[in-house]
Amino acid sequence: MIDLRSDTVTKPTEEMRLASYRAEVGDDIYGEDPTVRNLEEKAASILGKEDALFVTSGTQGNQIAVLTHTRPGNEILLEENSHIFYYESGAVAALAGVQTRTLPGVKGAMDPANVEASIRVEDQHFPETGLICLENTHNRAGGAIISPQNMEAIYSIGKEYSIPVHVDGARLFNAASASGRDVKDFTIHCDTVQICLSKGLGAPVGSIIAGDKNFIKRARKWRKRLGGGLRQVGIIAAPGLVALTTMRERLEEDHQKAKILQEALQNCKGIEVINDVDTNIVVADVKNRGISAEQFVIQLKEMGVLAVSFGPTSVRFTTHYDVSMNQIKEVVKILQKM
């Protein structure tokens, strides 16, 4: 099977497995795991923030950020297809007790003027706007890059109204790589950021949240409350460190593979690629084949390719480290046959 369901499916590399085996560990709740500390310091430095915290998943990182920034009864502003709103099982309501105010996006980017207009004024009837969330790259917008200019405009509005800005940067390194920029060109325009080690970077588990020291201190307490405080966790931080230090450079390959897929899909009868393919995600609409996304996914599976249904007639393909260029060429042949 050629697995293009998600970049979350990668298996740890030999180097990652060895790093786990050799990791120096200690009890991280006592602050005694040197491997975790090393990962957190390295991540903070790469992301241009004062401090960072290792968390178990992207969802946990985003939720800790929302919990740390807001109070129950707050309203948070976020794009209507953002992962925090769409894919985190209603956690912001269940855990932080905040309500969401979703705004439309163009390729995942919210209009800064609309963000500003949606900030609540002081009135006893209204909730207080407690947080603005961005997502970069934007998953449901097909791995779209949110430009630093858009981020800057929203961040300056956030500062003007004293509302923090959090970025769900599960795939932020894809954005940096595809736009030929340093990741700090993006992270400079937010208070806090979450990045995933276990997507394009290929680690088996883990995410990082980064921000100023005070935020990380409070976030650490939320992580503990959620049961995310771990002990000899260097064992899983070690592959994360390999991912962070050695796997960023190669993301460009995944973007090239996505372009090849895009072209092959575009040449298929009845299939239309509906995203711009900025990074490693291709979204194809199959309605003109007269079948549903689910049916198309089953047909593909019978031919040895896994993809995910992304809407009634849209299907997502995600390229990653564990799908080689030769396998992509094989997928192209399969699509030609179809």
Binding positions for ligand TLP, rule: CB under 6 A: 6, 8, 57-59, 83, 87, 135, 139, 168, 170, 196, 198, 207
CB of 206 to ligand TLP, least distance (A): 8
74 vs 275: CA distance, rounded Å: 33
Residue 52 near residue 44 (C-beta atoms within 8 A): yes
- Chain residue at closest Cβ approach to ligand TLP: 58
CB of 253 to ligand TLP, least distance (A): 19
Nearer to ligand TLP, 1 or 122 (CB): 1
Residue 26 near residue 37 (C-beta atoms within 8 A): no
CB of 118 to ligand TLP, least distance (A): 21
Neighbours of 272 (CB within 10 A): 15
Nearer to ligand TLP, 194 or 327 (CB): 194
Instruction: Return all residues near 27 (Cβ < 8 A) that are at least 6 apart.
Output: 33, 231, 232
CB of 109 to ligand TLP, least distance (A): 14
CB of 54 to ligand TLP, least distance (A): 13
- Amino acid letter at 158? G
Nearer to ligand TLP, 49 or 171 (CB): 171
Nearer to ligand TLP, 20 or 139 (CB): 139
Q: Which helix (H) or strand (E) holds 255?
A: helix 251-266
In this structure, what DSSP letter does residue 284 have? Answer: E
Q: How far is CA 202 from CA 6, 205, 313, in A?
A: 11, 9, 29
Residue 290 near residue 270 (C-beta atoms within 8 A): yes
CB of 167 to ligand TLP, least distance (A): 10
Nearer to ligand TLP, 135 or 278 (CB): 135
Nearer to ligand TLP, 80 or 116 (CB): 80
CB of 8 to ligand TLP, least distance (A): 5
Nearer to ligand TLP, 81 or 127 (CB): 81
Q: Is 299 helix (H, G, I), strand (E, B) or coil?
A: helix
In this structure, what DSSP letter does residue 6 have? Answer: -
Nearer to ligand TLP, 36 or 146 (CB): 146
CB of 17 to ligand TLP, least distance (A): 20
Residue 168 forms beta bridges with which residues?
135, 194
- Supply angle C-alpha 177, 182, 187, rounded to 5: 110
Q: What is the DSSP string of 214-253?
A: HHHHHHHHHHHHTT---SSTHHHHHHHHHHHHHSSTTHHH
